[in-house]
C-alpha cells in the first residue's frame, strides 16, 4: 500500500526545527499500521514492514543551498492520541523509535522499519526553523496502513 501527504515548514508557524522548545510545532502525520506481514514461519514475531520517505519538493534548482538538513522522527502513541496534535509535554516524556536502516540524499530521507501494529506519529522537521520548504511524506507497506 502507498500513501502520500504534502506538508510544508513555515517560519513562526510549522517550522519548529530540531530545537527542544519549538520541535512540537513541526508537521505531524498519523501512521496507523493495521495488518502484520504474512510470514511462513509461525515462530517469528509478526511485525509490519513499512518504508517512510521524506522528500523535499522543488529542489532541482542548482542554486539551492543547504537542503540536506531535513529529517523525521517516528513516535509510538496510544490509540487515544488519534487525531490529537502532540504537545511539548509528550515530546519531553517520550523518545522516538530508532531508524535502523536509513538512506539520505540531497532530496530525500528514506527509512525501512519493522514495527508492531499500532498507532504512530511521524514528525517531519527541517533543522533550521527559519527556513521555509515544501515536502512530501510517503509510506509504502506490504499490507494495510493509513497515513493522515
Q: Which H, E and C letters describe 8-23, residue by residue?
A: EECCCCCCCCCCCCCH
Residues 50-66: what's their mean pLDDT?
75
Furthest-apart CA pair in the chain: how many Å?
53
Specify the higher pLDDT residue, 68 or 88: 88
Residue 66 has pLDDT above 80, yes or no: no
Band (47; pLDDT cuts 50, 70, 90) = confident
Residue 126 has pLDDT above 60, yes or no: yes
* pTM greater than the 0.85 cutoff: yes
Q: What is the mean pLDDT of the chain?
A: 85
Q: What percent of the chain has pLDDT over 70?
A: 87
Residue 63 has pLDDT above 60, yes or no: no
Least confident window among 33-42, 105-114, 137-146: 33-42
Residue with the three cell numbers 498519523: 30
How crowded is residue 126: how many other Cβ atoms within 10 Å of its Cβ?
A: 26
Residues 128-141: what's their mean pLDDT?
90
With beta carbons less than 8 A apart as the criterion, state whether 16 and 8 touch. no
Amino acid at each position: 500500500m502507498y500513501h502520500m501527504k504534502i506538508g510544508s515548514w513555515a517560519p513562526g508557524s510549522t517550522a519548529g526545527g530540531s530545537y527542544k522548545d519549538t520541535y512540537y510545532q513541526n508537521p505531524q502525520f498519523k501512521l496507523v499500521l493495521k495488518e502484520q506481514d504474512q510470514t511462513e514461519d509461525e515462530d517469528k514475531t509478526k511485525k509490519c514492514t513499512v518504508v517512510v520517505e521524506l522528500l523535499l519538493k522543488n529542489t532541482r534548482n542548482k542554486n539551492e543551498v543547504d537542503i540536506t538538513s531535513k529529517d523525521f522522527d517516528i513516535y509510538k502513541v496510544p490509540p487515544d492520541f488519534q487525531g490529537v496534535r502532540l504537545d511539548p509535554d509528550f515530546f519531553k516524556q517520550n523518545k522516538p523509535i530508532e531508524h535502523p536502516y536509513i538512506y539520505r540524499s540531497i532530496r530525500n530521507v528514506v527509512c525501512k522499519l519493522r514495527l508492531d501494529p499500532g498507532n504512530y506519529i511521524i514528525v517531519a522537521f527541517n533543522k533550521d526553523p527559519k527556513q521555509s520548504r515544501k515536502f512530501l511524506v510517503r509510506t509504502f507497506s506490504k499490507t494495510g496502513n493509513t497515513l493522515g
